[in-house]
Amino acid sequence: MLQPCGGLWGSATIIDSDPACETVRDAVYCPLRPDIFLDSYNGWGIYHRDGSLVEACGYYRLPSKALIGQSRHLGLPPTLALAAPGAYVYGGPVIMHFGHFLTAALPRLWEIVRRGLPRDAKIVVHSHEAPEAWFARDYVRTILGQLGLPPDRFVQFPQPTLIPRLHVPRPALEEQNFAHRVFRTLCLRIGAPFQAAKQEGRAIYLSKTRMRNGTYRLMNEEPVDDAMRAAGIEVVHPETLPFAGQVGLLASSALVIGTAGSAFHTSVFCEHPPRIVGLAYGPVLNANYALIDALAGNDARYVHSPDVTALQSDAATFCYQASDPAALAHALIRSI
């Protein structure tokens, strides 16, 4: 019933050196449009004065290193607002989904664990929400709080704005492509206060049955939960825990089982991560898992089942179902 995943969707290159940094003179900030998701809007991004994209500021993902929204060249308005005097650092897009927050918003903050950010520098971001609204979420408040970044360190501009001098750290992780080791250092700094003693023999199953939405869902997961409980495996719902508790949960566990999801990414915050057995939604694994596993040094194994098939999906969730979820759970248990 279960087969090992045999390839990666993307690549998982780990880079020892830190990312490069550069300074852009006369950078032009073009905001997101509130009514269009950033993937679908080509008018946002950071551009040179001639309208060409600042390549180091681009938000890329997918194995093709696709530019997400934005444009290679954008016609800029003849008049631009001018940013208030001060130091500015580019922070990239801030997307309010846990996985994307880790893989898109955090990766440009790595300088904090090297030389620190310039004092009083504002972090320029693209987001559909105001920083104060991000901080209503526990994981944002905790992660950025650990880095000493309150909401007022972040800035976005409502209209195209000229920034005379913008410091640009390249990202320490690019989804499905590469990660620099400093990203792990950054995550360990964040996770340091939340580590918990390893409980030998503690096995947990990360259930998505209480999630209201998620990128990938097994829609008939309840029998899997039941089978896990019957086998003495704790069934947990990580999204119901505060971020600190999620780190502690993984840190204290010897084995984590679950369907593939960003909850596995929390392992990158654990000094001693658990062994991972993940059920993927096909034979080819998203390289993001391999990137996080390589950074964290995870002992991870991913399997898939031909008995798990896709259902009609909505805009926010890719939906799957197992033909026999209890049998799937028993196969997972036998494989550990």
Partner 1 sequence: MNLYSYFLANTGRPIHKNVHYLPIYERHFHPFVGRPLTMIEIGCGGGGSAQMWKRYFGPYARIVGIDINPACRAYEDEQVKVRIGSQSDTAFLADIVDEFGAPDIVLDDGSHRMDDVNATFNWLYSRLYSGGIYLVEDLHTAYWDEFGGGFRRPGTFIERCKDLIDEFNADHTRGALPPTEFSVATQSMHIYDSVVVFERGRAVDKRSIITGNAQHY
| Residues engaged in binding partner 1 (CB under 8 A) | 11, 13, 15-22, 56, 65, 170-171, 174, 177-178, 180
Q: How far is the CB of 111 from partner 1 (least distance, A)?
A: 10
Question: Is residue 99 a contact partner of residue 265, using CB atoms and an 8 Å limit?
Answer: yes
Q: Helices marked H in 156-216 — which ranges?
A: 181-191
Can you tell me the distance from the alpha carbon of 315 to that of 336, in angstroms, rounded to the nearest whole number?
34
Angular region, 297: left φ>0, alpha ψ -120 to 50, beta rest: left
Q: How far is the CB of 156 from partner 1 (least distance, A)?
A: 24
Which residue's entry shows tokens 């000094």? 271
Can you tell me the distance from the alpha carbon of 183 to that of 296, in angstroms, rounded to the nearest whole number?
10
- DSSP line for 145-199: HHTT--GGGEE--SS-EEEEEEEEEPPSEETTTEEEHHHHHHHHHHHGGG-----
Q: How far is the CB of 15 from partner 1 (least distance, A)?
A: 6
Q: How far is the CB of 183 from partner 1 (least distance, A)?
A: 13
| Nearest residue to 214 (alpha-carbon basis) of 86, 91, 319 | 319
Q: How many CB atoms lie within 10 A of CB 136?
A: 10
Can you tell me the distance from the alpha carbon of 320 to that of 297, in angstroms, rounded to the nearest whole number?
29
Residue 97 dihedral angles phi and psi, to the nearest 5°: -145, 135
Q: How far is the CB of 113 from partner 1 (least distance, A)?
A: 11
| Residue whose CB is less far from partner 1, 140 or 296 | 296
| Residue whose CB is less far from partner 1, 66 or 130 | 66
| Residue whose CB is less far from partner 1, 17 or 79 | 17
| Residue whose CB is less far from partner 1, 277 or 287 | 287
| Residue whose CB is less far from partner 1, 21 or 219 | 21
Q: How far is the CB of 64 from partner 1 (least distance, A)?
A: 9
Angle 126-243-191 from CA coordinates, rounded to 5°: 90
* For helices 287-296 and 181-191, angle between their N-to-C axes, nearest 10 degrees: 70
The DSSP bridge partners found for residue 124 are 90, 155
Q: What is the CA radius of gyration of the chain?
A: 21
Q: How far is the CB of 178 from partner 1 (least distance, A)?
A: 6
Q: How far is the CB of 21 from partner 1 (least distance, A)?
A: 7
Can you tell me the distance from the alpha carbon of 221 to that of 322, in angstroms, rounded to the nearest whole number?
8
| Nearest residue to 164 (alpha-carbon basis) of 50, 45, 32, 28 | 28
The two three-digit tokens of residue 208, written as one number: 């998505």
| Residue whose CB is less far from partner 1, 187 or 280 | 187
| Residue whose CB is less far from partner 1, 22 or 234 | 22
Q: How far is the CB of 172 from partner 1 (least distance, A)?
A: 10
Q: Is 121 exposed, middle or buried (0-12, 13-18, 19+ CB in 10 A)?
A: middle
| Residue whose CB is less far from partner 1, 90 or 135 | 90
| Residue whose CB is less far from partner 1, 183 or 281 | 183
